[in-house]
Structure 1
Amino acid sequence: MRVTKATPAAGRRVLADFRADRRILLLAAMAVVIGAAGTVAAWGLLALIALVTNLVWFGRIDTALVSLAQVKPSWWMVAAPILGGLVIGLMARYGSEKIRGHGIPEAIEAILIGGSRMSPRVAVLKPVSSAISIGTGGPFGAEGPIIMTGGAIGSLFAQFFHLSAAERKTLLVAGAAAGMTAIFGTPVAAILLAVELLLFEWRPRSFIPVTAAVVTATMLRPALLGAGPLFPFAADPVLPWWGLVLCAGLGAATGLLSCALTSLLYALEDRFEHLPVHWMWWPALGGLIVGLGGLIEPRALGVGYDVIGDLLGGHIVLGAVLTILVVKAVIWLVALSSGTSGGVLAPLLIIGGAMGWLAGTALPGEPGYWALLGMAAMLGGTMPAPLTGALFAVEVTGDLHALPALLAASVSAYAVTVLVLKRSILTEKIARRGQHITREYGIDPHQFTRVSEVMVRAVETLPGHLPIREAVAVLERGQHRAYPVIDEAGRPVGFVTRADILLWGAEGGHGEERLDEQVSDAALPVIHPEDVTAHAIEKMLASNRGRLPVVDPESRALLGLVTRRDLLQVQASFSRAETERRAYFVRKRA
């Protein structure tokens, strides 16, 4: 057994790790509370949507979700969406403009530039405005609003405690993921959505609390919203050995449709920007198109969960699918670009499912199977979140056997959208507000590169007992701008720079004084060889220094120096690994 000597540096690291572990447990405990609150909020949102729907279309007080397929076309079918849009415009103008849109970009923006702080006003107005929008016929889902609402609950809860912005982000995302889990019963997909779209990291500090919130929502959901998959499905066909090629082809076609929808959405948004009326009136104008679409196909209005069920179950005919696909896409694009409130997941599922169903009429198996693949592909390509798209389809149907085909379709759609579009339907909206978000998830090279790999080992030093007069002479003829000063044991006590020469020359009278009497710094920050370069960057920023001495953790003797230039080499090496291309198994030319 190997026994190592305890050092002060090792002790500090153990204490820091212990404190970090305590913070994770504290955040997880908070996330349980937020998960419960997010589940209740999801139940309340669905009940509110159903209440508004029943009041507007059937004149009754009821909180049971109903389909609008039984609504007969009339003038009210046009008037109701217009009135709903007018109310939402007033709420956005005089309440909070942040309720406009489908919620996920707003949650991302709060994380990126708002310190993960959201206002109580948004937590109240977002679900109310969404219920009015969807209840009056808006072709949206409840998932975007609940992500925004659950995120607001997590953010508000976090603001009562002394937490960092990163910790508030964790609790914000915990609330959002819990809300999505409660709506759809998809815990794994909710966690993946949190990682792919909201967290921008995969760390225990964030992953464990978010999972705690999602598990809490999963436990509470049966009591409030029911158990089991939302759209049970298990009619998987026996495909030929090359069947996954068909799945990937459907995914690629769905990806092209996703690109077209995203481009059309922002083209329409640009058109609304040029209207000679205040944006408060835009949702009402969008409501006009929604109402006209409802006259053509009433089932295109509202959440449309019944349509999803019919697409999967095959209880629908070709003409109806074609009509729903066209009408749903048109009214969804116009309504969303007008700035009204509502989610995008349910409309994407319907549009992707309709396309997959139509393709499935010419492919092996039932059209419902290909509708399922189209849903996953549309979700994975548009968001873009391919893993979320595949796992979401599995959990919402309970069909685990379809996972390989779902992955093929979802990743193919994702590949198409990444190659065709610069930004996704989510990041484009944020980019238009001046923020840039990369669509790639990677590891910071500074998090795994050790200081020992980049530090300068051959360091010229000055002994602390050296008279200042001699030190000045060394600096005047030396090649470096700064030299570390060490004591008799080789431990760094400070730095002497060329600027010090000018200062001493102006003051005079320091010629015979010892160098360490002028430059000794008890607060001199040091770094250890086994530390990662990210830690060195943090120390440089905290101390406002451009170089740090690297010391032995036990003796504190100087081993080398690390400078800003050395740290830049880490990124340069990482860039070379990405861009330099070389073949090794080739014949060399003579």
Structure 2
Amino acid sequence: MIGLSAPAAGQSWFEQLLDWREKHISERTFVLMLAFAVGFFCAVAAFTLHWIIAQIALLLTSSFNEKTANWLYLVYPVVGIYLTGLFVKYVVKDNISHGITRILYAISSKRSRLRGHNCWSSVLASAITIGFGGSVGAEAPIVLTGSAIGSNLGKLFRMDNRTLVLLVGCGAAGAIAGIFKAPIAGLVFTLEVLMIDLTMASLLPILISCVTATCFTYIFSGSTSLFTFHLDAAWTVERVPANILLGVTCGLLSLYFIRAMTLCEDMFSRFKDKPYFKLVIGGSMLSMLIFLFPSLYGEGYHDINQLLNGSTEADWNGIMHNSLFSGHGSLLVIYVFLVVVTKVFATSATNGGGGCGGTFAPSLFVGCFGGFLFARLWNMYEVGVYVPEKNFALLGMAGVMSGVMHAPLTGIFLIAEITGGYALFLPLMIVSVCSYLTIIIFEPHSIYGMRLAREGKLITHHTDHAVLTLMSLDSVIDRDYTPVSPDMELGTIVHKISRSRNIFLPVLDAAGNLLGEIYITKIRHVVFRIELYHHFTASQLMTPPAATLRDDEPMTEVMQVFDRTHADWLPVLDADGHLKGYISRQRMYGMYRKMVADMSED
């Protein structure tokens, strides 16, 4: 490269490149360059994943007779889950499920560091699962892939932790923008779901990543979108009551989606040490559901497009092809209702059985079918002014996504962008907001954040809470202490005090359990009386600690304990009660103030 001098002794060409970059390219400019690279790789990953899924599905189902049920639906999903399980167990050798939750955990607990294999493993695993019929979405795996690309590029070029968080956000935003060709939705998704603060310093890199991913996706796959929608009936103000009621319905559907998904996941987690048992249960459940309702096969985008573009009964009845319901148009409402109810179980069975995929596409699917069902029942019973089924199918997609992800802006802009449905922008807003307001009554966190929220590891836009979440308890533990045994005499204790840099000595039994503490200030009345050195032991001089902390305790609770006890030092114990070290109030608050200052900088 022009401008690079001969490498110094012991310095590799890459280290020389890093030195040259630091001298000639500013940090801000280089971050923008990395954001461009992240956007490009996100587009490549999204295109690759969808291409593989399409090829597998075409190979397996192209010969199906659409007018009858197909028994191969009982076989393909089990094979897909089994192959995915083998790939994860013997190739990846790591847990790659719950992609977006994994990103949130990396941001809150691992300083935004994602493993290198996440750049490709989720793409292959989810392609196998979905191509063979797994009823999950490809979006969460792609978001994990994009975030991993951003994280690992940042680590490669030795970016600091704040820049790593930004690059993780660029990867997630680029993934959403690339897979849906929706740059604004990618930006808003990063803000709402990943809780990355949108400052002036972070806005431009995320936008660059989104625009780059979208442009390259157009280059790779043309101008076609995942969903197509043509507005036949313009929105009128008379439909506001129906829109509000649809929003509330979507909020309740979201609640059902989250609760049922959580229940099924808890059930499968009980058998985490029995992978073949999970495969049998999950695979059998999924195969049977897909055999009965072929709309549950894969992501379900084909049937979504049928509902969004249909204008006659024959068009909408097409979603029942390949099923036992085929040819029975009078059963359409029952079929759609059963699909809405069973989709969450099909998704849970896919992931629980060993497959890999996300809940992004299932939430769109449930929303589309739920919105169509709402409109069909509304018109059948003439509740009010006529409402177009296809319009409400579109609005339902935004409503359920807003509720499940607790992200109304993402739901609004994503559906508007991917369908060109800007003529329905106002009803999209009404439905999304009403759905969100309904779901938060019952669930304060999204389906992605609820697991981390229970552990106190969820990052929010509240700076104080975010800093406490990011702070690691382990990083502030002082392990340099001088222990004494309970039968140690005062004379030996004084000798220990002279060698200790702390004002206290922990009293431990033979197993390392904390029995009490000896504070120098509390024994000064005897410490200088030599005649008493053989009359007192540690067990007589020790006092119980003001409080003890667990090594897995959230920093918010640690702060509360310090405020309640007014202690300067508190001991930290592990799960077995053994002393790990001490936390200093001064050191903890010093780190807290520094992190607040760092987060406050643009």
**TM > 0.5 fold call:** yes
Matched, 1:244 2:259: no
Offset, 1:22: 4.1
Q: Deviations over 1:398-449 (max 9, x none)?
A: 11121111111111111111111143211123346x34326x64566999xx
- In structure 2, C-alpha distance between the alignment counterparts of 1:221 and 1:139, rounded to whole Å: 24
Matched, 1:329 2:320: no
Alignment CA distance shift 1:92-1:160 (3 Å): same
Asked if the contact 1:95/1:121 (under 8 Å) is kept, the reply is no
Q: Deviations over 1:200-239 (max 9, x none)?
A: 3112232211111111112212211221543232426455
Offset, 1:349: 1.0
Map residues 222-241 of structure 1 onto 2, 5 A cutoff.
Answer: 222-235=218-231, 237-241=233-237
Q: Deviations over 1:558-580 (max 9, x none)?
A: xxxxxx89x99xx9xxxxxxxxx
- In structure 2, C-alpha distance between the alignment counterparts of 1:224 and 1:72, rounded to whole Å: 36
Aligned to 1:162: 158
- In structure 1, C-alpha distance between the alignment counterparts of 2:90 and 2:131, rounded to whole Å: 21
Q: 2:35 aligns with which of 31, 35, 56?
A: 31
Aligned to 1:355: 370
Q: 1:374 aligns with which of 372, 392, 396?
A: 396
Aligned to 2:12: none
Asked if the contact 2:109/2:457 (under 8 Å) is kept, the reply is no
Aligned to 2:563: none
- In structure 1, C-alpha distance between the alignment counterparts of 2:398 and 2:94, rounded to whole Å: 29
TM-score (norm 2): 0.65
Q: 2:432 aligns with which of 410, 417, 422?
A: 410
Asked if the contact 1:99/1:129 (under 8 Å) is kept, the reply is no
- In structure 1, C-alpha distance between the alignment counterparts of 2:235 and 2:170, rounded to whole Å: 39
Matched, 1:78 2:74: yes
Q: Deviations over 1:323-368 (max 9, x none)?
A: 4323433312332344531122221111111111111122523101
Asked if the contact 2:250/2:396 (under 8 Å) is kept, the reply is yes
Q: Extract unaligned runs of 5+ from structure 2.
A: 1-22, 318-331, 380-385, 468-520, 525-567, 569-588, 597-602
Asked if the contact 1:42/1:146 (under 8 Å) is kept, the reply is yes
What amino acid sits opposite 1:26 in the alignment? F
Asked if the contact 2:226/2:301 (under 8 Å) is kept, the reply is no
What amino acid sits opposite 1:409 in the alignment? V
Asked if the contact 2:251/2:436 (under 8 Å) is kept, the reply is yes
- In structure 2, C-alpha distance between the alignment counterparts of 1:255 and 1:446, rounded to whole Å: 27
Q: Which deviates more, 423-432 or 250-259?
A: 423-432
- In structure 1, C-alpha distance between the alignment counterparts of 2:122 and 2:134, rounded to whole Å: 15
- In structure 1, C-alpha distance between the alignment counterparts of 2:200 and 2:27, rounded to whole Å: 11
- What secondary structure is seen at the aligned counterpart in 2 of 1:394? helix
Aligned to 2:107: 111
Aligned to 2:485: none
Offset, 1:288: 1.7
Q: Deviations over 1:454-492 (max 9, x none)?
A: xxxxxxxxxxxxxxxxxxxxxxxxxxxxxxxxxxxxxxx
Q: Which deviates more, 242-251 or 93-102?
A: 93-102
Aligned to 1:220: 216
RMSD: 3.1
Aligned to 2:285: 289
Aligned to 1:395: 417
Q: Which deviates more, 277-286 or 246-255?
A: 277-286
Aligned length: 427
Aligned to 1:385: 407
Alignment CA distance shift 1:198-1:436 (3 Å): same
Map residues 409-488 of structure 1 onto 2, 5 A cutoff.
Answer: 409-431=431-453, 434-437=455-458, 441-442=461-462
Asked if the contact 1:178/1:214 (under 8 Å) is kept, the reply is yes
What amino acid sits opposite 2:46 in the alignment? A
Offset, 1:281: 5.0
Q: Extract unaligned runs of 5+ from structure 1.
A: 1-18, 60-67, 448-498, 503-545, 547-563, 572-590
Alignment CA distance shift 1:281-1:193 (3 Å): farther
Alignment CA distance shift 1:244-1:292 (3 Å): same
Alignment CA distance shift 1:253-1:154 (3 Å): same
Alignment CA distance shift 1:324-1:435 (3 Å): same
- What secondary structure is seen at the aligned counterpart in 2 of 1:198? coil
- In structure 1, C-alpha distance between the alignment counterparts of 2:174 and 2:255, rounded to whole Å: 29
- What secondary structure is seen at the aligned counterpart in 1 of 2:120? helix
Aligned to 1:52: 56
Q: Deviations over 1:169-225 (max 9, x none)?
A: 211221222122121111101110011112431122322111111111122122112
Asked if the contact 1:116/1:169 (under 8 Å) is kept, the reply is yes
What amino acid sits opposite 2:261 in the alignment? L
What amino acid sits opposite 2:367 in the alignment? G
Offset, 1:284: 5.0
Matched, 1:343 2:347: no
Aligned to 1:540: none
- In structure 2, C-alpha distance between the alignment counterparts of 1:222 and 1:395, rounded to whole Å: 14
Aligned to 2:506: none
Asked if the contact 2:367/2:397 (under 8 Å) is kept, the reply is yes
Percent identity, please: 28
Matched, 1:183 2:183: no
Asked if the contact 1:229/1:398 (under 8 Å) is kept, the reply is no
What amino acid sits opposite 1:426 in the alignment? Y
- In structure 1, C-alpha distance between the alignment counterparts of 2:207 and 2:86, rounded to whole Å: 37
Offset, 1:45: 0.9
Alignment CA distance shift 1:50-1:281 (3 Å): farther
- Kindly name which structure, 1 or 2, has the bigger radius of gyration based on alpha carbons: 1
Asked if the contact 1:86/1:281 (under 8 Å) is kept, the reply is no
Offset, 1:163: 0.6
Offset, 1:54: 3.1
Offset, 1:37: 1.1
What amino acid sits opposite 2:451 in the alignment? K
Offset, 1:92: 3.0
